[in-house]
A and B are shown apart, each in its own frame.
Chain A
Amino acid sequence: MSLALSIGLLAAAGVFLVLQRGMIRIILGFILLTHAVNLLIIAAGGVARRDAPFANGDTSMAADPLPQAFVLTAIVIAFAITVVLATLAVVSKGDDDTEGGPKSKALDNEANKGGDLK
């Protein structure tokens, strides 16, 4: 139950942050969302059995290793993408917005008024 509640809380907070406009909040939101999904995958393997698999030859209470492998992979990927997103937040001219206005080149506007190259 506590696992389900934490997943729900993380997902709700993550969704709220992702819906913001600024990139930093979106990144924080994604960190929470990926944590929610990681917990979900751990929960998918069953959390009641959590012994080491080959400790004493008894596998009846051994933890399922596959979801752990999944989560490990997912964490690495999420980390890499967080770095990419953080880069995206700073490479630009002082804005971290996800809404782009109709940008035109400086000369484009001048040319619109009618150039003098005849």
Chain B
Amino acid sequence: MMNLMEALLPLFVAAPLFLGAVLLILPRTHPLQYIVATGSLLAVLAGSISLLVTVSDGTVLAHQISLWPEGIAIAFVADAFSALILTAASLVALLSFQYMAVSGESRSPSIPALVLILVGGVSGALLTADLFNLFVFIEVMLLPSYGLLIFLSRREDMAGSRLFAVVNLLASTLFLAGIGLIYAIQGTVNLAALAGTGADPATAIATAMCLSAIAVKAAVFPAHGWLSRAYASGSPAVTALFSGLHTKVAVYVIYRISAVIFEGDSAWMTAILVVACLTLVVGALAALGESNIRSLLLFQMVSGIGFILVGVGLFTPEGLTAGIVYMVHHMIVMGSLLLVSSAIEHTYGSGQLERIAGLRTREHLLTGVFVIGSLSLVGLPPFSGFVAKYALVLASADAGLAILAGLLLIVSLFVLMAMMKVWANMFNGKRHPDVEILAAEERIRTRNGLYDLAVLDPEEVAQEAARAVEHLEPPRGSHRNESDPHQNRGTRVPVALIFPALILGGLSVALGFGGEFLVSLAEQASAGLIDTSDYVKSVMGR
């Protein structure tokens, strides 16, 4: 069984890449597009779960590509950490794709193919044990991402896509330069062969160059500003997809490099800890100033990256465990919240907080999912956020950093304030009289081809809006509301659009109640990061 799993490791990359290429050939309305894409995303998820089961006892699986001798071959490695993150990433990718299928975005040209190629790149980046190969897989992730952002952006707003491409290219170039320097000093870029070389100052500086490049991709302070501007221009569903993949892969790489090359060298880890604290404070404060639900959530994501990096900054077994738990929790909850915001933006045509008011009385299911997600993000029981934050605060206190534990709690308060802002403006409050016009405009645009530029005829929009108010019944159980201009009739978010977010929200609840399960997996993962000898042994064969 173990040998079979080892031999199948490259399939996590090869199968999505190949099937993505096949989908590019098929016509875009072919039913196989959806079936093949969903099927292979399900297969990647199933594969990563079985991988997780196999490695959850601490074994490390490694496959030497083309069966070259160990140390010469480029190895694919799976340990508890990579399997856990791969599982969470493929789950978010699957559900985001389901959302795109329901919202019609996946019918734009070549979207399913691009999603598959993106997932192939993510698996490669998570599984490879070679720095140059990592660079290649990050590029494999980025190229379809440019496509997704561009195809699903409004044509008049390319600035965000350009920013995304430019920032990521700059970071990749820096990363490549760091790899070149590491090769110049050590003569190898095999991660396992580089284990412990961080003690050498020259190697440490070259590696720090790689780390800073990756930190830009992870949107760590002071390079955090690009994230909300770049992601806000694309389609909201793409934002949800990227949130679970791009920044989290970057954080994974920071964890891995810190553990293997630096072996948790306290001077470097302190630097990471300081940057992480700045990131989590700045992200949470910036979120308070946003007036658009997506930008607000994106700054929460920046803040979350800070929380995750606190774990590696502490570099104690408890700290790493807490950081990994937080990472999984954050992928799930952020995916859920961003899919909620996607559903709102897709249906109502705007994510501006004050324009879309009064969702609470009309969208019961959506409100429920949003409440679960927000409370989990804040860190209240019984959700997964509580387990993650409790572990993180406890780990900081254990490491003798009471002030850090206090900071984490205060920042959680800021997160609560930001989510209350969304609640007060978007879910509470009186419904805006123009909301139907915006929604009608969005529907017409969707019908005409998603991101068409053409200026719409105001008459047509008004008619569409009036038709919606006339034909769409108010939700069941809602009482007549005199303050609502349309008496609760009109546009509502389709249940199918809420479903992916609901599944992720439910998972957050499940992981809150069954926190023990996630923590034990994360403990196994952090043990592999503290003691990297198994990792090195399976890659180098000694």
Question: Which A residues are within 8 Å of any B CB, using their own CB?
Answer: 18, 23, 26, 30, 33-34, 36-37, 40-41, 43-45, 66-67, 70, 73-74, 77, 80-81, 84-85, 87-89, 91-93, 97-100, 103, 105-108, 110-112, 114-118
Main secondary structure of the interface of A (DSSP, over half): helix
Chain B contacts for A114, CB-based, 8 A: 433-434
In the bound complex, do residue A92 and residue B438 qualify as a contact, i.e. CB atoms below 8 Å apart? no
Q: In the complex, what's the smallest C-beta–C-beta distance from B225 to chain A, in angstroms?
A: 12
Show 6 A/B contacts (Cβ-Cβ < 8 Å), sorted by A: A41-B183, A43-B180, A43-B184, A70-B132, A114-B434, A116-B462
A109 to chain B, nearest CB (A): 11
Contacts of B163 in A (CB 8 A): 98, 100
Contacts of A103 in B (CB 8 A): 154, 156-157
**Secondary structure of the B contact surface, majority rule:** helix
- Of all chain B residues, the one with the shortest Cβ separation from A100 is B159
Interface stretch, picked from B39-47, B98-106, B170-178, is B170-178
Q: Which residues in B have some Cβ–Cβ distance to A below 8 Å?
A: 132, 136, 139, 142-143, 146, 150, 154-163, 165-166, 169-170, 173, 176-177, 179-181, 183-184, 229, 233, 349-350, 433-434, 436-438, 441, 453, 455-456, 458, 461-462, 465-466, 469, 485
> Which A residues touch B349, using CB under 8 A?
105
CA distance A117 to B165 in the complex (A): 41
Residues of A within 8 A of B229 (CB): 100
Partner of A117, one of B160, B173, B462: B462
Given A44-B184, A100-B233, A115-B434, also A74-B441 (CB < 8 A): no
* Bound CA–CA A118/B150 (angstroms): 37
Residues on B with C-beta less than 8 A from A97 are 159, 162
Of B139, B165, B233, B485, the contact of A118 (CB 8 Å cutoff): B485
Contact with A34, one of B136, B157, B165, B173 (Cβ below 8 angstroms): B173
CA distance A54 to B180 in the complex (A): 25
Tell me if A44 and B441 are in contact (CB < 8 A).
no
Q: Are A111 and B177 in contact (CB under 8 A)?
A: no
In the A-B complex, list the 3 residue pairs whose CB atoms are closest, starting with the nearest.
A100-B159, A44-B184, A111-B434
Q: Compute how far the CA of A98 lies from the CA of B139 in the bound complex, rounded to whole angstroms.
A: 21
**B180 contacts across to A, CB distance below 8 A:** 37, 40-41, 43-44, 67, 70
